[in-house]
Chain A
Amino acid sequence: QQQVKQSPQSLIVQKGGISIINCAYENTAFDYFPWYQQFPGKGPALLIAIRPDVSEKKEGRFTISFNKSAKQFSLHIMDSQPGDSATYFCAASSGSAGAGSYQLTFGKGTKLSVIP
């Protein structure tokens, strides 16, 4: 049972455009939602994260939108650049003891290609 569903699987965006990646979760105990960026042959790098007490968080060109009632969250990359071309993973975890020990449950990833 996949607990975090991510879409689309791949995304092609023109330079300067907006990249949008969506995730939906099932476990209402989740209370931490990070996004990771991974380049080929590298480890995932923490990009931005949100907790459910806010509906939006912005850091530079990256914004997370969070909809608690719909159990959905999304990543928006403004002014997308070729250097943003990577695979992006959403994830979720719970901080409640005995509810998963803070392990991250990952989506399957979105391969983003930003073309000049």
Chain B
Amino acid sequence: NAGVMQNPRHLVRRRGQEARLRCSPMKGHSHVYWYRQLPEEGLKFMVYLQKENIIDESGMPKERFSAEFPKEGPSILRIQQVVRGDSAAYFCASSPEQGALKNIQYFGAGTRLSVL
């Protein structure tokens, strides 16, 4: 029973390039969250998705960032034209259907993005 899978674990990009981060939720989970963690900081919410729907993107920067969770395949967080300030650890979490287990989020190991 695999946990939340994220890849790549480490990603190096030069300024102006695109970064694509992938997340496969736990088996049976259809809710995905993306968070960003800066060094020595807590995690900050970015976006919440269900299959084929963005439910809440209130934490997502308005420009250059986008997210999707297609019917088939992993969730993707895309950062276009990366800048040095995008360097951070990006974590994905998944949760089961709502009800008694709502709110409970399980995290992946993260993708550490470094922008040169």
Interface residue? B14 (CB, 8 A): no
B105 → A minimal CB distance (Å): 6
Q: Are A44 and B91 in contact (CB under 8 A)?
A: yes
Chain B residues near A49: list those with CB within 8 A: 104
Chain A residues near B98: list those with CB within 8 A: 95
Q: Are A103 and B110 in contact (CB under 8 A)?
A: no
Question: Number of residues in A with C-beta < 8 Å to the partner?
Answer: 24
In the assembly, what is the distance between CA of A70 and CA of B95, in Å? 29
Q: Are B103 and A95 in contact (CB under 8 A)?
A: yes
Interface residue? A61 (CB, 8 A): no
Q: Are A109 and B42 in contact (CB under 8 A)?
A: yes
Q: Are B59 and A89 in contact (CB under 8 A)?
A: no
Interface of A, helix, strand, loop or mixed by DSSP? loop
In the assembly, what is the distance between CA of A45 and CA of B4, in Å? 11
Interface members, chain A 69-87 (any B CB < 8 Å): none
In the assembly, what is the distance between CA of A7 and CA of B116, in Å? 34
Using CB atoms and an 8 Å cutoff, list the residues of chain A in contact with chain B.
6, 31-32, 34, 36, 42-46, 49, 89, 93, 95, 100-109
What 10 A-B pairs have minimum CB-CB distances, sorted nearest first?
A106-B42, A101-B56, A32-B103, A43-B107, A103-B45, A43-B109, A108-B42, A106-B43, A44-B107, A101-B48
CB<8 Å pairs between A and B, sample of 24: A31-B103, A34-B105, A36-B107, A42-B110, A43-B91, A44-B91, A44-B107, A45-B107, A46-B104, A89-B42, A95-B102, A101-B55, A101-B56, A102-B95, A102-B103, A103-B33, A103-B48, A104-B35, A104-B93, A104-B103, A105-B45, A106-B35, A106-B44, A107-B42
